[in-house]
Structure 1
Amino acid sequence: MHIYLPIAEMSLNFLIPVLLGAGVGVLTGMFGVGGGFLMTPSLIFIGVPPAVAVGTEAVKIVGSSVSGVLAHWRKGNVDVQMGVVLLIGGLAGSFVGVRVFTWLRGIGQIDVTIALLYVVVLGIVGSMMFAESLGSILRSRAALAGGGSVAAPSGGRGRGGWVRRLPFKMAFRRSKLVISPIVPLGVGFLVGILSALMGVGGGFIMVPAMIYLIGMPTKVVIGTSLFQIIFVTANTAFLQAWQNHTVDVLLALQLLVGGVIGAQVGTWLGGKLKAEQLRVGLAAVVLAVCFKMALGLVLEPDELYSFAAKGGH
């Protein structure tokens, strides 16, 4: 059954967004990522205008992240104090990002900017994730072949020593850290900008930063990331709907139904499967999406010319 989406100005079989939402929701639960870095390009691939895909995906991320964070909250794996610091930076970044989004849309450059951002960000993140995960698998196999044991990663303690030398230190008891809030604020600000411009929760940047830069224990990183993502993406969705009118509620509801279910499944799977193998798979998907977006920038489009109202989509 096809449903007409008034903001996207197109008809779409309702099962497609539900299945897309479920698939990305699984990744949300497993990795603590909002999933927008895969969902937004997927919506663009099926014909949703990029500006609408970005604004609508922010709404879906809120729902799936709430589902994911509840599962981690029950396990005590959320550092609320750190989440609030990240949130302050994220809210500031989302305000700035939406203003930039509005300006780019006004001059007719938002679609190509979104595509370029995805190619650059996904290319860098996917390559680094793939190299790190593959290296971890090879080291594990070498250690096991030699009769040794492989220690499980415990987080980023020991790295980023300069972070601990920054002033204005605060104690984050749940993460067992005493560090300056400057770096978490900066990470949150960057993620807030990306949330507005790319329709992402930013977990694919935040999670590595929390582990390797801030030095948080891995077990509390995912829940804390999702906690921050909820409020930043909610703010982004509100601003996009208010200023740019790019939130299609009907499409968001279909994505949300699949996303909430998928997040619970992903949380369960995350405790059953090997982390290194999961990261390799995720990296491969990220690089595939990056390649598809890059092709869209260099290949000749089916229609060389199109007409659109100023400020529209």
Structure 2
Amino acid sequence: MQYAIGFMIALFIALTGVGAGTVTVPVLILFLGVPAPVAVAIGLTFSAAVKLVLVPAQIFRQQVAWRTLGYMLLGGVPGVLVGSFALKHLVTGGSQNLINALLGAILVGTASWQIYASLRPAGWKPDAADRSPILPWLMFPVGAEVGFSSAGAGALGSAALLALTPLLPAQVVGTDIVFGFLMSLIGSGAHWFSHATDPQLLIHLIVGGVFGAVSGTLVSGTIPRRPLRLALWIWLLVLGGQFLVHSYHVLAAAR
């Protein structure tokens, strides 16, 4: 079962480009009953493992804008540490239902934005003036979201790059992949330091994920990406709604 989940998550990542952490965490919590802190730690590590395969190719192709990446990391690194330790503090306080509610809200917000973006005309592009110095301020909350929920680096990072920089699409993809990899790596390290992880489950997911990534890469050229992305984001929106509904029922029962 765990191998199959890793396979399916990596397959959809290869086919749609949706971040590993965004998909992994709700699946682990809702379908395997994994506690939220452990699911976030596994999602971050799994995401870093998947993106590790992609980073060298982006660097070799010179598709990473290093100056822009530096601006992103200036805000993203402290943000991911704050998010990771905020999650640890809530766990220590025993607020599991609050964590699930926050994860649901983050998932609903991210999915709603991506559905909106998917429905825009294909040729739409924001004003691309170079406003890179704004990136640290935007990437701090993005990093905090990644550290707290493992979601957001890929979707929100690429949106910020498209809106604030004149980078070419290939540079946006390359820079965002490296940014997401570093955010996942730093966040997973912070969670491993707090011992919130399950090494056996993580290994099973990565083994299945390797086969899923290869399979997805082989068939990605024959499957239209945009409709599949839209369907996946709608599904994640429903999962986020389930988190919120479940948290509401738990809160109502406790009164």
TM-score interval (norm. to shorter): 0.7 to 0.9
Aligned equivalents of 1:23, 1:79: Cα separation in 2: 31
Q: Which runs of 5+ in 2 are unaligned?
A: none
Q: Secondary structure at the match of 2:9?
A: helix
Identity of aligned residues (%): 23
Contact 1:156 1:215 in 2 (8 A): no
Are positions 1:90 and 2:76 aligned together? yes
Residue of structure 1 aligned with 2:108, choices 123, 145, 149 = 123
- Structure 2 match to 1:19: 4
In the alignment of these two chains, the number of paired residues is 252
Are positions 1:284 and 2:234 aligned together? yes
Distance 1:271 1:222, change over 3 A: farther
Distance 1:120 1:216, change over 3 A: farther
Q: Secondary structure at the match of 1:247?
A: coil
Residue of structure 1 aligned with 2:89, choices 103, 107, 124 = 103
Contact 1:93 1:189 in 2 (8 A): yes
Q: Which runs of 5+ in 1 are unaligned?
A: 1-15, 137-151, 165-178, 306-313
RMSD (Å) for aligned C-alpha atoms: 2.8
Identify, as 1 or 2, the structure richer in strand.
Answer: 1
Contact 2:38 2:197 in 1 (8 A): yes
Aligned equivalents of 2:246, 2:73: Cα separation in 1: 34
Shift in Å, 1:192: 1.6
Identify, as 1 or 2, the structure richer in helix.
Answer: 2
Shift in Å, 1:70: 3.9
- Structure 2 match to 1:255: 205
Deviations 1:236-277 (A, max 9, x none): 1111121x2102222211122223343344455555443432
Shift in Å, 1:40: 0.7
Contact 1:28 1:35 in 2 (8 A): yes
Tell me the TM-score normalized by structure 2: 0.84
Are positions 1:158 and 2:108 aligned together? no
Shift in Å, 1:62: 0.8
Give runs of ≥4 in structure 1 deviating > 6 Å.
Answer: none
Shift in Å, 1:187: 3.2
Shift in Å, 1:93: 0.9
- Bigger Cα Rg: 1
Distance 1:271 1:186, change over 3 A: farther
